[in-house]
Amino acid sequence: MRFGSKTLRLPRSATARIAVGAGLVCGGILGFLPILGFWMIPLGLLVLSQDLPSVRRWRRSMIVRMERRNGAPDRRRQGKNNRREAEKDRPEP
């Protein structure tokens, strides 16, 4: 899993990844205790999204929502605009 320039290695076994993700979420719920923190919940959900389709759909919808809110260009529309510009550059027959 990559976070910008940082890489986090996950276990190869799906069972181990689910256990790590569930442990992080459970530890995050106890975030009011020392050492544990609420930061563990989103990290655990990211790990779980590798293997659980329901969490993966939630993660993708969150990414789409964040991209729309931050004004990231829509890749599908960008392709259409490039075709329109290419049509304008073509000479008339």
pTM to 2 decimal places: 0.58
Closest CA to 1 of 62, 48, 55: 48
Any idea what DSSP says for residue 93? -
The domain limits of the chain are 2-89
Q: Are strands 2-3 and 6-7 parallel, antiparallel or unpaired?
A: antiparallel
The 10s digit of each residue's pLDDT in 41-74 is: 888 888 888 888 888 888 888 889 888 888 866 6
Task: For 18-40, write each residue's pLDDT tens digit.
Answer: 999 999 999 999 888 887 888 88
Residue where the block lists tokens 């008339």: 92
Q: What is the DSSP letter of 87?
A: H
3-state DSSP helix/strand/coil percent for the chain, to nearest 5?
Answer: 60, 5, 35
At residue 79, φ and ψ (nearest 5 deg) are -65, -40
What pLDDT, on the 0 to 100 scale, is given for residue 81? 56
